Structures are given as C-alpha cells and as structure tokens.
Amino acid sequence: MDLSLASILTLDGVTSGAVYALLALATVLIFAVTRVVFIALGEFVAYGALTLSMLQMGKVPGTVWLLLGLALLAAALDVWRGLRRRAGWRSIAAGAAGLLAVPLLLAVATVALAPWRTSLLVQSLLSLALVTALGPLVYRVAYEKVADASVLVLMIVSVGVHFVLTGIALAAFGAEGFRNPSFWDANFDVGPLSLPGQSITIFMTSIALMGGLFLFFERSLRGKALRATAVNRYGARLMAISTEGAGRLSFGMAAFIGALSGLLIAPTTTIFYDSGFLIGLKGFVAAIFGGLASYPAAALGALLVGVLESFGAFWASSFKEVIVFTLIIPVLLWRSVREGPRDDEE
C-alpha cells in the first residue's frame, strides 16, 4: 500500500467517522440524561434519509402517518393520566392539544408541499422536522412510564422499540434502497487526493453541530438542566427540573442528530429500511470509548471506528463489520479492569 492509497482510505474513514461521531454524541447524551442504551438511534438515520427520498419523488413519506399515530397515542395516554389524577378538563385538553399541534402542522405542510417537489434544502428541512418530532413522542410512549427502571429493563425496551421502528420502516418505505443527491457536487484536488464537496459538507456540519452542542450545554438554561439531570436525577427533581421534560428534550435532540446523519450519509451509500441499525451500532461502539459519559472520547473513538472500517474494507471487505465490532471487546475489558463493578443508580 502506497501513501496515496493510504491517504484516500484515511479520508474515506474520517468522513464516515464524522457521521459516527454525531451518533456517538447522541448515544452519550441519551444515556447520560435517561440511562437508556438507545440502540434504535440508527432508525432515525434511516427515517431521515428515506423521508427525504420520498419527498424527492414527490410522495408523502410514511413518516407523516407514524408521527400522527404516535402523537394520538401520546395524547390518549396523557388524557388517561389526567383522568386518573382527576385533573381539570382544561388542563387535560391543553396537554393533548400541545402534543398534537406540532405533528398536525408538520403533516399538513408535508402533504401540501410533497407533490410540488420543492428544493433540496426545503425537503431536507422538512425531513429533519418530521423525524425530530418523533423523538419526544417515542420517549413519551415507550420510556416515560418506566423511566425509573433499571438500565437492563430500559435496554430491553430499546430492543422492542428497534424492532417496531424497523417493521414500520419496511411498511412505510418498502424494501427498496435509495441514494439521495449530494448537497455539494464540487470536487477539489489536494495533492493525490480528490476531496468531494459532500465530504466537506459532512466535516463542516459535524464541526458546527458539535460547537452548537457545546454552547447549548454551557450557556443555555435548558442545556444546564440536562447536565444537572445527567449528574443526578433526584437532585435535579429537588431543584424543580422536570426529568420527564429532560428525557423528551434529549430524545428530540438525538432524533435531530440521527436524521441529520442520515441526510449526510445517504449521498455516499444506499440506505435501506434496516440500514440504520449497523450505522447506529458503530456510533454505539464509538460511544463505548467514552464509557457512555465522555463526549470528546466518544468523538475520537468514532474517528478511529471510521478509519478502521475503511482500511478493513480494503484488506478484508467481507470481515469489515467483524473488525469494527471486535474493537469493542478490548475496550470493555480495559474499562472493566480500570473501573471495576459499579451498582446502578436506584
């Protein structure tokens, strides 16, 4: 292998690693705030990419009907909870209306705009909005009732959520794979390398989002509330921070990051209804490098996963997934020896 080929493989690996870094950050965010090992994060990747594909064809994506269904289910659960607590009708109606307002608005906008085949930017923003709105509803329907359960129970729920979302994706988008158009078609020659504009778009978007997350957690009140919830859930409750609201917000942010990752990676690879699982799992492997707690370590781990995958595909393409996932074993052993056993938070 000469230097030119190694540079090309490294560039390809770093490009993929930038996307895995976003997913790793989302994984750490959800686990820190809610203690949920959200293995279904990759489904948001697939939903984001496939929603855009449907809009590109002038069709109304199935994401709209899933969003409306989840919103109706969440509203029904809130009404039932209000009735059990004997809350006032105005309070119950206001809560249900709050859950239904955004999904209904997005559904109307999508149905109206889809046949017009608007610009790629408008379709991308609409796709992001639809998938982002799914995040809080998934938390409300699947996790909020068992939020104080053990990590193992929450992970079992995540397995169920993964299979449900995958099945719905098959019904909504079909088994056919799609590849979306690139956001930037330019190519730049840097020595022996040809740097695609899409790779630059991925780098710049990843850096901008990481910077935005840093400012959000350091400067905004909601970001500090999420950090407080991550440090101590019960202490956050004593300080009048809603852990339910924190959970919904973290899932919404993770859904946005997942959908954005899907939009970024779809021009470089064909996305199927079940493609998100492997992509999200690589983000999870990267998050393990940070012990599901450190954002910088997770980002660095993601770059390592991307580079290792790229070189593994070159040397042994049939075993590239095995090589990546085997990487998690020594990391887990090292962390087990270093940190020792630790009890779950009750």
Nearest Cα to 205, choosing from 12, 9, 21? 21
Which two tokens mark 274?
């079940």
Which tokens go with 276? 């998100």
Phi and psi at residue 294, in whole multiples of 5°? -105, 120
User: d(Cα 177, Cα 33) in Å, to the nearest integer?
Assistant: 34
Region 188-215: what's the mean pLDDT? 85
Better-predicted residue by pLDDT, 232 or 170: 170
The verdict on residue 140 lying in a domain is yes
Q: Which two three-digit tokens encode residue 257?
A: 């990051």
Partnered with residue 194 across adjacent β-strands are 189
Cα separation of 129 and 102, whole Å?
Answer: 10
Question: Which residue range(s) make up the domain with 129?
Answer: 3-175+198-339
C-beta separation of 167 from 60 below 8 A:
no
Q: Which residues face 188 on adjacent strands?
A: 195
pLDDT in tens, 202-219: 999 999 998 898 898 888
Give the type of residue at 109: A
Please check whether residue 186 lies inside any domain of the structure: no
Helix runs in the chain, H state only: 3-34, 41-56, 63-84, 89-113, 120-138, 151-173, 197-219, 221-231, 233-238, 243-265, 275-289, 295-315, 320-326, 328-339
In a domain, 293, yes or no: yes
Number of domains in the chain: 1
At 265 the pLDDT is 92
Asked if pLDDT for residue 178 goes beyond 70, the answer is yes
Query: DSSP 3-state assignment of 195?
Result: strand
pLDDT at 85 over 70: yes
Q: What backbone torsions phi and psi does residue 189 show, to the nearest 5 degrees?
A: -90, 120
In a domain, 54, yes or no: yes
> In angstroms, rounded to a whole number, what is the distance separating the alpha carbons of residues 233 and 226?
10
Tell me the pLDDT tens digit for each residue of 35-65.
Answer: 899 989 999 999 999 999 999 999 999 999 9
- pLDDT value of position 91: 79
pLDDT at 342: 58
What is the rounded distance in angstroms from the CA atom of residue 286 to the CA atom of residue 15?
A: 15
48, two tokens = 């984001």
User: What average pLDDT does this structure show over 297-314?
Assistant: 86
Distance CA(33)–CA(275), nearest Å, equals: 26
124, part of any domain: yes
Write the pLDDT tens digit of every residue in 96-131.
Answer: 888 899 999 999 999 999 999 889 999 999 999 999
Where is average pLDDT lowest: 27-31, 102-106, 298-302? Answer: 298-302
Q: Which amino acid is it at 13?
A: G
Sequence length of the chain is 346
| Listed residue (255, 251, 212, 310) closest to 63, CA to CA | 255
What DSSP designation does 140 have?
I
Q: Is residue 192 part of a domain?
A: no
Specify if 184 maps to a domain: no
The reply to whether 344 falls in a domain is no
pLDDT class of 345 with cuts at 50, 70, 90? very low
How many of the other CB atoms lie within 10 Å of CB of 2?
7
